[in-house]
Structures are given as structure tokens and as C-alpha cells.
């Protein structure tokens, strides 16, 4: 279905593709391993509410978010799902926890604060405990986490329903990833030898799921970017499932707001960083960095118009971007321009835009701004 003609810049979110990718992950890890749907950062820019709602409909029991603001949205979208809070709670946020929200505990300090709050409110809390195996961000080291688990086992107010860690470089360094798995295994052996119950484990992110076989060890996986059809690493997914391993959930588009014939010698955009060496046709697009197009795309990025690649000319501006349509004689006012997605036999991927922008696909998708309408299909 074509988008409403009033939309200047929009993202088409294909929920059928999301369901397809979820099935891929389930086939990868088997029946005895659950998929935790990571929907933090507005579902990686895809729109948290619609994504959470569809994942719940597909049988996903746990959704993972970054903070309590996202938890509230996910809870409205999927009221029967558990909501795992991946980031640490601030002290003032602890009293705002709802029944199905599961905070992460990385330290004794957090455990004691949660215990005091649970005692005051006489409400039992479920938590997931995080072990640092090499990421160096959240999680405690072995001795502190063993103590946390021991105290939880002795508490009537706190229950540990999960233990997890996070891979630092699963997409680029399989050897280090396997060392992290080894540290996790050693922790579990050590804990059990001391009589400490080890909760159900999860530690595989998107790249970890394709690189590390954790059957018999992990009870859940946490796919992020690849769940949205942006494979990381792409080559490993192709080796496993072929060229159509995953289906992109998001296509990002805008419209041609104006077409101009520019004489040779004309300068384009701020600071005159582009000068036309000969006469050319230029399309002004109704999207700029306020919509999420990085200024690093200036003079180097491309878009698709009528399936043809059109180079960005000059600097990306706040609300508009100029592109070369000299070789696209059909280009006209109000045409679609594809920023990410397929168009008449060609495709610009989030990974490709990230390369032009000197960043990664995560940032590209998360930076698509709120003024870009998310339109769901499928």
C-alpha cells in the first residue's frame, strides 16, 4: 500500500519480516531456548510499541529495554510479557518498578537497595544478575556476583530468575567470545561447587547466536539488531542460511521536494563544499539531519530514485538534502527517494549507510528521528 501523500519522510516497518527473522533465531537455537526480544532504543529506531506488540503476538515472553520509560511502553504493548531492564536503575527509579518488570543487578549495592525497597513495600521482586566476563561495562566480577546470588538465595523478598553476561566483540573476534563463554562456564562450576544455585543463563546477542553454540548451557538468547533484519556479521548469516538469511524490517524513504537545473559552476549547500563542473539536474529531498541523516553523508552518501543511485551533493542540511539526478531524467517533484531499502533492483542497506557515515548500523537506525513517521505493514 502506498504511503499517504502527506508524508515527507517515513519509515516502513514490515512486521511480517520481523516474524520471519524471529523464526530464524528459533530454528538456530532449538525448542529448549527462549528468545528475549530486545526492544530498547525505540526497538532500534523501528518503533517500540508496534514491535513489542508483534513479538508478544509471536509468543515472545520476555522483552528487554534500557530503562523504565521504555518498560512502561513495552508493558502497554505487551501486558503479559516480562520486561527485563538491561540498564542499572537509579535510586529514585526503584520505587517505580511494576510487577512484571525485572531489574538487572550487577552489585551488592543494587541488591541491598532493591531488598530495602521490597521490604518496605512488602513486594517480592524478580531480578536478573549480571556477570562481567569481559565487556567492562555492567556486571560484577565473580566473587561479588557469587555473594549476590548467595544473599538472594537467603532472601524472602528477592528471587533471581536469570543470570547473564554480554559479549564485547562477538561480531569481530570469535576467539575472545569463546573465552568469555569459558569464563561464564568456570563461574557456574565454581558457584555450584560452593553450593550456590545458578539461575537460568542467557548471554548470546545477535552475533553470539550465530557464532556460539550454547545448547545445553543457555536457556535464552537476546538478539538485537539481527532480529530487525540487519545481520551481524552478515557473512556468517549467509553461510548459515543463504543470501536471504534475514529480511530487513525497516525501509526509510523521503520525497523529492524540488528539481532544479543547475548551470556549471554552481555551488550547492553550506560552505560551498560542492561545485558543479558542468550543468546538472539536482533534486532537493525533504529530509536532513533533523530526520536522522548524518552530516557525514555530505558529498559521499547515495540514495535511490527510480532504482538509480544518486549521489548526495554538498552538505546535508537540517531539513533538506541535495542529490544528483542528472542520470535520472524521470525524476520529478514528489517522487520517492529511498534512503535505506530496496528500489527497482538495487538496495541501500543500513550497513552501507553506516560505512559512509563512519559509524555502525546500530547508530544509523537509532538516529532516525521521531519526526520520521513509522508506518507498519504486514
Which three three-digit cell numbers place residue 293? 541523516
**Distance, CA of 315 to CA of 307 (rounded, Å):** 23
Report whether pLDDT(34) > 90: yes
Which three three-digit cell numbers place residue 54? 508483534
| Total count of residues recorded for the chain | 378
| pLDDT of 233 | 80
Which three three-digit cell numbers place residue 129? 544478575
Task: Choose the catalytic residue: 40, 130, 253, 308.
Answer: 40
Determine whether 40 is an active site residue. Answer: yes
Report whether pLDDT(110) > 70: yes
Residue 108 or residue 211, greater confidence? 108
| pLDDT of 1 | 59
**Mean pLDDT, rounded, of the chain:** 95
| pLDDT of 360 | 96
Q: Which of 2-6, 9-13, 90-94, 223-227 has the lowest mean pLDDT?
A: 2-6
Determine whether 270 is an active site residue. Answer: yes
The dihedral built from the CA positions of residue 14, 15, 19 and 25, taken in this order, carries a sign that is positive
> Residue 311 class from Cβ within 10 Å (0-12 exposed, 13-18 middle, 19+ buried)?
middle
- Of all residues in the chain, the percent with pLDDT exceeding 70 is 99
Task: Choose the catalytic residue: 112, 124, 270, 332.
Answer: 270
Residue tagged 523478598 (cell numbers): 157
Q: H helices of the chain, where?
A: 15-29, 40-45, 48-57, 68-77, 108-121, 142-154, 174-193, 206-211, 234-241, 350-357, 361-366
Q: Which of 19-23, 122-126, 168-172 has the lowest mean pLDDT?
A: 168-172
pTM of the model: 0.95
CA separation (Å) from 221 to 34, 110, 132, 232, 242?
6, 24, 17, 15, 22
Amino acid at each position: 500500500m502506498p504511503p499517504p501523500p502527506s508524508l515527507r519522510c517515513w519509515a516502513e516497518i514490515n512486521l511480517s519480516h520481523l516474524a520471519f527473522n524471529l523464526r530464524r533465531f528459533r530454528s538456530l537455537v532449538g525448542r529448549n531456548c527462549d528468545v528475549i526480544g530486545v526492544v530498547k532504543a525505540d526497538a532500534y529506531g523501528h518503533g517500540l510499541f508496534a514491535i513489542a506488540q508483534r513479538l508478544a503476538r509471536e509468543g515472545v515472553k520476555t522483552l528487554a529495554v534500557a530503562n523504565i520509560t521504555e518498560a512502561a511502553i513495552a508493558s502497554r504493548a505487551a501486558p503479559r510479557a516480562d520486561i527485563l531492564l538491561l540498564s542499572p536503575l537509579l535510586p529514585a527509579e526503584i520505587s517505580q518498578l511494576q510487577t512484571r518488570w525485572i531489574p538487572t543487578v550487577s552489585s551488592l549495592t543494587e541488591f541491598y537497595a532493591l531488598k530495602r525497597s521490597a521490604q518496605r513495600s512488602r513486594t517480592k521482586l524478580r531480578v536478573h544478575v549480571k556477570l562481567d566476563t569481559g565487556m567492562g561495562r555492567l556486571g560484577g566480577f565473580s566473587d561479588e556476583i557469587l555473594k549476590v546470588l548467595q544473599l538472594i538465595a537467603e532472601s524472602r523478598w528477592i528471587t533471581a530468575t536469570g543470570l547473564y553476561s554480554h559479549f564485547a566483540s562477538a561480531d569481530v573476534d570469535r576467539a575472545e567470545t569463546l573465552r568469555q563463554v569459558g569464563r561464564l562456564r568456570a563461574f557456574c562450576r565454581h558457584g555450584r561447587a560452593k553450593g550456590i544455585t545458578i539461575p537460568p543463563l542467557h548471554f548470546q546477542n545477535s552475533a553470539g547466536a550465530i557464532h556460539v553454540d550454547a545448547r545445553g548451557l543457555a536457556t535464552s538468547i537476546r538478539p538485537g539488531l539481527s532480529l530487525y533484519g540487519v545481520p551481524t556479521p552478515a557473512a556468517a548469516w549467509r553461510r548459515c542460511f543463504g543470501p536471504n538469511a534475514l529480511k530487513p524490517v525497516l525501509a526509510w524513504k523521503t520525497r523529492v521536494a524540488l528539481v532544479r537545473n543547475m548551470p556549471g559552476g554552481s555551488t550547492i549547500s553550506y560552505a560551498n563544499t560542492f561545485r558543479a563542473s558542468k550543468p546538472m539536474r539536482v533534486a532537493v529531498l525533504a529530509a536532513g539531519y533533523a530526520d536522522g541523516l548524518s552530516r557525514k553523508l555530505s558529498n559521499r552518501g547515495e540514495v535511490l530514485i527510480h532504482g538509480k543511485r544518486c549521489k548526495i551533493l554538498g552538505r546535508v542540511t537540517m531539513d533538506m538534502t541535495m542529490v544528483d539526478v542528472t542520470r535520472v531524467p524521470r525524476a520529478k517533484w514528489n517522487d520517492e527517494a529511498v534512503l535505506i531499502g530496496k528500489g527497482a533492483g538495487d538496495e541501500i542497506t543500513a550497513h552501507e549507510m553506516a560505512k559512509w557515515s563512519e559509524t555502525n548500523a546500530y547508530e544509523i537506525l537509532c538516529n532516525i528521528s521521531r519526526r520520521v513517521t513509522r508506518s507498519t505493514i504486514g
